[in-house]
């Protein structure tokens, strides 16, 4: 089955740029979605279809996807961005949704 | 704006059946653009896709759960439901319902989630 690999943790100082990667075999051929989950809350979609933002999500959140790696980039990191972030794709070969293991973003 | 809300028992005994319902408000579950999905999160762990249903009743299940899983829909009540049989402690998790876009399979929005504990 299709596997998505994320680093367990990423950190960044306020005002800096944080990048969270999501690795998968030829992931560039798939649509990648990113979710933010704060403690005790449900996940929230922050980027969809590789690089689109739902309404209400700040422009500081952006995404890219090519080859074997998709990346969520958070510019000008704020304390309120501290959360777990999950990437997700649809595994069409096995007809199932697949999530990465999640990355905890710590704002220093 | 569409909202989803899970409901059901928070405690289930081992070997019994876990039953949850998701009520959709602010939009129709009969929309042709969406599937309606269940996702769970074991305590302190990541997200696991359980399965989805279309308003017509067609379903897709996670192969690891399909032998124990039934997802159904009640369009008259704008609800869909999950039943998981023969539960064990490994089924203890927060269960979320979510709307799933049919072409690119993004999940948005999500319900708030409900913790189900399997214990005697």
- Give the model confidence (pLDDT) of B22-78 as tens digits: 999 999 999 999 999 999 999 999 999 999 999 999 999 999 999 999 999 999 999
pLDDT one-digit tens code per residue, A19-67: 999 999 999 999 999 999 999 999 999 999 999 999 999 999 999 999 9
Residue of A nearest to B43 (CA): A40
Q: How confident is the model at residue A98 (pLDDT cuts 50, 70, 90)?
A: very high
Spatial separation of the C-alpha atoms in residues B31 and A78, rounded to whole Å: 37
Please judge whether A48 and B49 are an interchain contact, meaning their C-beta atoms are less than 8 angstroms apart. no
pLDDT one-digit tens code per residue, B6-27: 999 999 999 999 999 999 999 9
Give the pLDDT score at A1. Answer: 87
Please name every residue paired with B74 in a beta bridge, in sequence order, or none if there are none.
B79
Residue of B nearest to A52 (CA): B106
Helix (H, G, I), strand (E, B) or coil at A56: coil
The residue of B94, B107, B114, B115 whose CB has the most chain A CBs within 10 angstroms, and thus the best one to mutate to test that interface, is B107
Instruction: Find, among A26, A13, A7, A25, the residue nearest to A72 by Cα.
Output: A7
């Amino acid at each position: 089955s299709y596997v998505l690999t994320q680093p367990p943790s990423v950190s960044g100082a306020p005002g800096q740029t944080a990048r969270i990667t999501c690795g998968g075999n030829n992931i560039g051929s798939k649509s990648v979605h990113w979710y933010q989950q704060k403690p005790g809350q449900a996940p929230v979609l922050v980027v969809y279809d590789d690089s689109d933002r739902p309404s209400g999500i700040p422009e500081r959140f952006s995404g890219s996807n090519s080859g074997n790696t998709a990346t969520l980039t958070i510019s000008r990191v704020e304390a309120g961005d501290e959360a777990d972030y999950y990437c997700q794709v649809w595994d069409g070969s096995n007809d199932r949704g697949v999530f990465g293991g999640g990355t905890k973003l710590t704002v220093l | 704006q569409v909202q989803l809300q899970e409901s059901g028992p928070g405690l289930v005994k081992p070997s019994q059946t876990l039953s949850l319902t998701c009520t959709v408000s602010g939009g129709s579950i009969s929309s042709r653009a969406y599937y309606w999905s269940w996702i769970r999160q074991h305590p302190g762990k990541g997200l696991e896709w359980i399965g989805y249903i279309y308003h017509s009743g067609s379903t897709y299940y996670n192969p690891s759960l399909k032998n124990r899983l039934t997802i159904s829909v009640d369009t008259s009540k704008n609800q869909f439901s999950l039943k998981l049989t023969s539960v064990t402690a490994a089924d203890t998790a927060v269960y979320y319902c979510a709307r799933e876009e049919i072409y690119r399979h993004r999940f948005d929005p999500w319900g708030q989630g409900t913790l189900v504990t399997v214990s005697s």
